[in-house]
Copies of this chain bind each other. A is one copy, B any other.
Amino acid sequence: MTLDPRGDLVALFRAIVDIESVSGNERELADQIEQVLRPCGHLSVLRDGDTVIARTDSGRAERIVIAGHLDTVPLAGNLPSWVEGDLVYGRGTCDMKGGVAVMLAAAVALETPSSDLTWIFYDHEEVESAANSLTRIAATRPELLAADFAVLMEPTSARVEGGCQGTLRFTVTTTGRAAHSARAWTGHNAIHDAVDVLARLRDHQPEQPVVDGLRYHEGLNAVGIEGGIAGNVIPDRCTISVNYRFAPHRSVEQAQDYCRQVLDGYQLSFTDAAAGARPGLDRPAAAAFLAAVGGEPSAKFGWTDVARFSALGVPAVNFGPGNPEKAHADDEFCPVGDLFACRDAVLRWLG
């Protein structure tokens, strides 16, 4: 199977989908992408692990990063790809090989782009952050990620989704006193005490803040609960795991303070946090992009690697083919119209 970046876009897309690249198995796809890009005279190509970076260096005033990950979540009997009407089904069709196909076609086609471009095809996005190759590259070669603006071609149904919400996780543990359940009154039931914590979470009204013109939608939810010792013992502990998705006007610290207010009186043990990213659509570099793409930008709710660029001072947006609600679904698919819409927008913007 050879990738033809100048031929039919749907054929290129399906060829990319059909090269299985579950996280950790990106090599074959990275090799083929490298083989396509190496011969292009307008690109200098770097290989770092299974990440392929292709750059133009024409001395333009601005540099734009366009990035997408090569890996997918595990298969669910959904490869090779298949077509139903205008939809291409299969693992990775939504998240995010449509973006990879558009990037590959545009990287080859844009021989004299209006801005200098850095195309980043990277590995290990669908796993823990430490394994993500952008973590390594940001630490070892941050100059490769430097830019005035960045587009992540994650699925957005070919609309601009700005920034991303942050996320943090914590646990709250209620404690009681164990006792034989035949003499329950000699103990104190920690699971019953969870009522107040869960009621505050249930009754909490998530905020919908407007940040840089985009409306976000927060969420504060119990995502796990565990308690109990045995069927004849009054439980002395109950642990509730909570996930807070917060709009990017809050820092991680501010988000933690917010949770402490909602659950005032309880000890919160924070286990995990990732800052959000402001949409950055007010930056000059974004203006030409928005004009080329058209439509109303909206807020990105899920956390994406735009936050990494934001942390490096690079405003970043999400823009790619595929409905984000279908990411990771066993029946994930991509409408072929999204592929053309995204490719045409990128060529219009940078051509």
A233 to B329, CA, bound (A): 13
A221 to B183, CA, bound (A): 11
| Complex contacts, A186 vs chain B, CB 8 Å | 325
A156 shortest CB reach to chain B, Å? 13
| Complex contacts, A70 vs chain B, CB 8 Å | none
Chain A positions 105-141 with a Cβ under 8 Å from a chain B Cβ: none
Are the CB atoms of A222 and B189 closer together than 8 Å? Answer: yes
Tell whether A8 is near chain B: CB-to-CB under 8 Å.
Answer: no
Tell whether A291 is near chain B: CB-to-CB under 8 Å.
Answer: no
Q: Helix, strand, loop or mixed for chain A's interface?
A: mixed
| Complex contacts, A182 vs chain B, CB 8 Å | 165, 167, 219, 245, 301-303
Asked whether A225 and B226 contact (CB < 8 A) given A195-B195, A198-B194, A243-B232, the answer is yes
Tell whether A230 is near chain B: CB-to-CB under 8 Å.
Answer: yes
Chain A positions 80-121 with a Cβ under 8 Å from a chain B Cβ: none
A181 to B235, CA, bound (A): 29
- 0/1 per residue, A209-227, Cβ < 8 Å to B? 0000000010101111111
A219 to B191, CA, bound (A): 14
Tell whether A228 is near chain B: CB-to-CB under 8 Å.
Answer: yes
Report copies per complex. 2
Interface-located stretch among A144-152, A199-207, A309-317: A199-207
Are the CB atoms of A189 and B167 closer together than 8 Å? Answer: no
Are the CB atoms of A231 and B272 closer together than 8 Å? Answer: yes
Tell whether A238 is near chain B: CB-to-CB under 8 Å.
Answer: yes
A225 to B195, CA, bound (A): 12
Tell whether A241 is near chain B: CB-to-CB under 8 Å.
Answer: yes
Asked whether A181 and B217 contact (CB < 8 A) given A192-B198, A195-B195, the answer is no
| Complex contacts, A6 vs chain B, CB 8 Å | none
Are the CB atoms of B231 and A241 closer together than 8 Å? Answer: yes
| Complex contacts, A199 vs chain B, CB 8 Å | 195, 199
Which single residue of chain B is at the shortest CB-CB distance from A189? B221
Chain A positions 50-102 with a Cβ under 8 Å from a chain B Cβ: none
Tell whether A38 is near chain B: CB-to-CB under 8 Å.
Answer: no
A232 to B231, CA, bound (A): 30
Are the CB atoms of A225 and B194 closer together than 8 Å? Answer: yes
Are the CB atoms of A185 and B243 closer together than 8 Å? Answer: no
- 0/1 per residue, A311-336, Cβ < 8 Å to B? 00000000000000100000000000
Tell whether A339 is near chain B: CB-to-CB under 8 Å.
Answer: no
A155 to B217, CA, bound (A): 60
Given B180, B219, B226, B229, which contacts A181 in the complex, CB threshold below 8 Å?
A: B219
- New contact pairs (13) apart from A182-B219, A225-B225, CB-CB < 8 Å: A167-B181, A169-B231, A184-B206, A185-B206, A191-B225, A192-B198, A194-B194, A195-B195, A195-B198, A222-B235, A223-B230, A223-B233, A224-B231
CB-defined A-B contacts under 8 Å, sample of 27:
A167-B182, A180-B325, A181-B223, A181-B243, A182-B301, A183-B217, A183-B219, A183-B302, A183-B325, A184-B206, A184-B221, A185-B206, A189-B222, A191-B198, A191-B223, A191-B224, A191-B225, A192-B198, A192-B201, A192-B222, A194-B194, A195-B195, A223-B232, A224-B227, A224-B228, A231-B241, A231-B243
Chain A to chain B: the 7 pairs with minimum beta-carbon distance, closest first: A224-B228, A184-B219, A182-B302, A192-B202, A191-B222, A182-B301, A195-B198
